[in-house]
Amino acid sequence: MPSQITIALAPGDGIGPEIMNATIELFRLAGVLDHVHFVNVEMGAHVFAKGFTRGMTDEAIRSVEDCGLLFKGPMETPKGGGGKSINVTARKLWNAYANYRHFKTLPGVDTLYSRAGIHLDFAIVRENIEDTYGGIEHRLSNDVVQCKRLISAPGCDEVHRFAFQTARRLGIAKVHCGHKANIMKMSDGLFLERFRATGKDFAEIETADVIVDALCMNLVMKPQMYKMIVLPNLQGDIVSDLCAGLVGGLGFAPSANIGNHISIFEAVHGTAPDIAGRNIANPTSLILSGLMMLRHIGLTQQAANIENALLATLESGTRTGDFGNPATPPLGTNEFVHAIADRLGSKPTTVPAIADACPDAPAYVHPPKPTAPQVIRTFKNVVTHVVGCDIYLDTPLAPLSLAGELHRVCEDTPFKLSLISNRGTQVWPVGSIYTECVDYYRVRFELKDGITPGTFGQSRCVALMDKVAEKFSVCSYELLRIFDGVKGYSMAQGQ
């Protein structure tokens, strides 16, 4: 194993440089720098300002890819100008597909649950690449915009396998899947289906699922019932911030973004520009994220030593200005870190200490670089047949008038008009006069009776769309297909 690991370091914006410098100083005093070498990379608001729309220089990208590890502070996304979130870009660019956050009651951090004597210790695993975070959006008509949600079986498999492997390593006996498959039956349905399929490879771990709205209620009322929850991207983002609130806020919530080749460890709170440069920011979240990183590369002994010192410091009442007993004078960022360093080798007495662990030298080997982007697949050799298409139209017509026009369009084609929906609700052939419609319709054409699926491919659907486009503004279209005899498309509300 290598004796020293090189890690890309991006201090961040606002309070980022202060809390990063303090964290690295704590690592130095704990002996971490005997095994780790940090290389600074240019990422953040100042890079956006130079015209780099990704918020990172080409040299920074190469450095992170050479290291396979990135330790970063909070970063600002410019408002306006089209710049995407640098945090999301980094996770997606390097396929850091699993966001892992550990939430734990910390001594000295006052919460409703700590006051009730309830000790929280659980994790959220959030899918990090897909869902609405593709940012695929279009204006479809005068009044309607769309955000496309993508869920893939291989993407689900990756994050579920990480969750179960982590649960096995930590001795967690039960993993929950949070979802909204009761409404999004195909996308969240796939996420839940792949959770159950992956769970079969981990027979010693109990599995359960919970609808995300019920999950949020349960987390507020009885969070101690959960040990690990895996969720799709957007739901996971919302729920993980809710969970941070249960243990004191984002300032006490570490975050790791794990990929097969590159992993990112970061503080997920804001840049707090109003207090930047004043030496009053709380570095706890970044320290805890750094401890995740140390364990990831095998420095488990150093991580345990630092975490025990942090816990001992917190239980002593030592604090920064954003938490703790107001009667106790707060320390500045650097003074807080030195208070932790002074307790290196100590252990907390009011909460369980972190067990000493071996080894104390790096056990991380950077995987070899892929030669090209990899195509990952779950289902193979699936028999598919085209059975129609959904065409999306920009028109102010009422449903009945629209249906009359479309019947004439498809008369001499293999297709019949079977459905018109508006905002997902059926408005033809049956509907309610109380259903308000906007200027964007889905019109569904399916094979006429007597025509066998598989008789032809998508070209006839494209020809039909061309005919429709002679009379209407076509926004988009989707093939209707069956996969091994199962419909690959959803019904409308009210069907």
DSSP code for 139:
E
- Cα–Cα distance measured from residue 252 to residue 108, given in angstroms and rounded to the nearest whole number: 11
Contact 199, 173 (CB under 8 A): no
Is 379 within a domain? no
Helix (H, G, I), strand (E, B) or coil at 201: coil
Q: What is the 8-class DSSP label of residue 208? A: E
Omega cis (within 30) before 107: no
Q: Say yes or no: 341 and 437 in one domain.
A: no
| 450: CB partners within 8 A, 6+ apart | none
Output the CA torsion sign for 192, 193, 199, 205: positive
**3 state DSSP class of 407:** helix
Q: Residue 464 has which token pair? A: 């039909």
Please indicate, yes or no, whether residues 201 and 165 belong to a single structural domain of this protein.
Answer: yes
Domain carrying residue 209: 121-246
Is omega for the bond preceding 429 within 30 degrees of 0, making it cis?
A: yes
Task: Please count the structural domains in the chain.
Answer: 3
For every residue of 276-304, which 3-state class applies, written as one string?
CCCCCCCCHHHHHHHHHHHHHCCCHHHHH
Q: Angle at the Cα of 147 (from 415 to 432), degrees rounded to 5?
A: 55
Position 254 in a domain = no
Residue 3 placed within a domain: yes
Per-residue pLDDT of the chain (495 residues; tens, 9 = 90+): 456 899 999 999 999 999 999 999 999 999 999 999 999 999 999 898 888 888 999 999 999 999 999 999 999 877 655 567 888 889 999 999 999 999 999 999 999 999 999 999 999 999 999 999 888 999 999 999 999 999 999 999 999 999 999 999 999 999 999 999 999 999 999 999 999 999 999 999 999 999 999 999 999 999 999 999 999 999 999 999 999 999 999 999 999 999 999 999 999 999 999 999 999 999 999 999 999 999 999 999 999 999 999 999 999 999 999 999 999 999 999 999 999 999 999 999 999 999 876 666 777 888 889 999 999 999 999 999 999 999 999 999 999 999 999 999 999 999 999 999 999 999 999 999 999 999 999 999 999 999 999 888 899 999 999 999 999 999 999 999 999 999 999 999 888
Residues 268 and 363 reside in one and the same domain: yes
My answer on whether 236 and 330 are in the same domain is: no
Q: For residue 481, which phi and psi values (nearest 5 degrees)?
A: -135, 155
Alpha-carbon span 179 to 291, nearest angstrom:
30
294 and 178 co-located in one domain: no
5, 76: one domain: yes
Question: What CATH number is associated with residue 468?
Answer: 3.30.70.1570
Domain end: 246, 275, 300, which one? Answer: 246
Could you tell me how many residues make up the chain?
495
**What's the CA gap between 239 and 236, in Å, rounded?**
5
Take residue 66 and report the two structure tokens written for it: 């050479």
Q: Is the same domain home to 273 and 321?
A: yes
| 284 and 391 belong to one structural domain | no
In a domain, 433, yes or no: yes
Domain stops at, among 373, 392, 421: 373
Q: Copy the structure tokens of residue 454.
A: 């598989």
Query: CB-side exposure of 189: number of CA atoms within 13 Å?
Result: 8
Residues 133 and 237 in one domain: yes
> Which H or E run includes 112?
helix 112-115
Same domain, 187 and 126: yes
CATH of the domain at 241: 3.40.718.10
Helix 333-342 and helix 300-315, axial crossing angle in degrees, nearest 10: 110
Query: b or e along 239-273 (b: 16 or more beta carbons within 10 Å of the residue's beta carbon)?
Result: bbbbbbbbbbbbbbbbbbbbbbebbbbbbbbebbe
Both 354 and 400 in one domain: the answer is: no
188 in a domain, yes or no?
Answer: yes
Strands 440-447 and 425-428: unpaired
Residue 53 belongs to some domain of the structure: yes
pLDDT for 81 equals: 57
Residues 166 and 242 in one domain: yes
- The per-residue pLDDT for 83 is 63
- 101 part of a folded domain: no
Among the listed residues 302, 303, 308, the one whose alpha carbon sits nearest the alpha carbon of residue 346 = 308
Q: Does residue 253 lie in a domain region? A: no
- Residue 187's region, left for phi above 0, alpha for psi from -120 to 50, else beta, is alpha
CB of 472 closer than 8 Å to CB of 464? no
